């Protein structure tokens, strides 16, 4: 149960996140950046109002459930699945055997996640597990992501660059570099 003055704000913040996620569809890079900044400001206000660790964990769980929901993730993952086979075929000769196998395994994870959304759309815990497992295979091919999100800039290692997000002018920071209390 939430304590302190955060009770009424958690549902409002999560609803705002859901509305913002729905609003990102079809948005250009500038609109997406502005919405991202607004979402982060709302989350920071919410975190400042947290009374204890249970409150914080509940908000984080709610945000993760929203961010990993079928409404947010299914379409982009489905698009990657549709484009990945052609990309693999077109690039097989230019990839090392190891990279080709790694990308092939990554593609299988995308397929598993799409199938999970189609059969168990509310199984966010399993989606999270599959995403964590998929991290072993690195970032998806930058060319593939650029094709699906033309305005998105990528760093040399394939990580999206999110200028202006929380004052950041490059890729998101490594979580191990973040200050913890």
More confident residue, 82 or 68: 82
Asked if the model's pLDDT at residue 6 lies above 70, the reply is no
Residue 71 has a pLDDT of 86
pLDDT average, residue stretch 67-96 = 92
Q: What is the pTM of this model?
A: 0.59
- On the question of pLDDT at 11 being above 60, the answer is no
φ and ψ of 123, to 5 deg: -85, 70
CATH class of 70-150: mainly alpha
**Mean of the per-residue pLDDT values for the chain?**
74
Residue 58's pLDDT band (boundaries 50, 70, 90)? confident
| Size of the chain, expressed as the number of residues it contains | 181
Helices (H), the chain: 9-24, 29-48, 53-67, 70-91, 97-119, 124-134, 142-148
Question: What residue segments make up the domains of the chain, in order of their start?
Answer: 9-67, 70-150
- Cα 162 to Cα 155: distance, rounded to the nearest angstrom: 10
Convert the pLDDT of each residue in 124-165 to its tens digit: 999 999 999 999 999 888 888 888 777 666 566 656 565 554
DSSP single-letter state for residue 92: G
CB 68 within 8 A of CB 124: yes
8 Å CB contact between 165 and 172: yes
pLDDT confidence of residue 7? 46
12 or 57, which is more confident?
57
Task: Give me the pLDDT at residue 181, please.
Answer: 44
Least confident of 84-93, 129-138, 162-171: 162-171
């Amino acid at each position: 149960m939430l304590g302190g003055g955060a009770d009424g704000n958690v549902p409002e913040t999560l609803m705002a996140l859901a509305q913002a996620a729905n609003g990102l569809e079809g948005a250009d890079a500038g609109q997406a950046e502005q919405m991202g900044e607004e979402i982060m400001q709302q989350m920071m206000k919410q975190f400042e109002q947290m009374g204890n660790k249970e409150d914080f964990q509940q908000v984080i769980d709610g945000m993760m459930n929203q961010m990993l929901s079928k409404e947010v993730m299914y379409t982009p993952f489905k698009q990657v699945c549709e484009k990945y086979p052609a990309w693999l075929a077109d690039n097989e000769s230019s990839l090392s055997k190891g990279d080709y196998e790694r990308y092939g395994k990554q593609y299988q994870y995308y397929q598993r996640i799409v199938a999970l959304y189609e059969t168990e759309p509310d199984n966010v815990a399993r989606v999270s597990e599959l995403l964590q497992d998929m991290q072993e295979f690195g970032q998806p091919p930058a060319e593939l992501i650029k094709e699906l999100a033309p305005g998105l800039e990528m760093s040399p290692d394939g990580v999206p660059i999110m200028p202006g997000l929380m004052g950041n002018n490059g890729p998101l920071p490594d979580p191990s570099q973040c200050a913890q209390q």
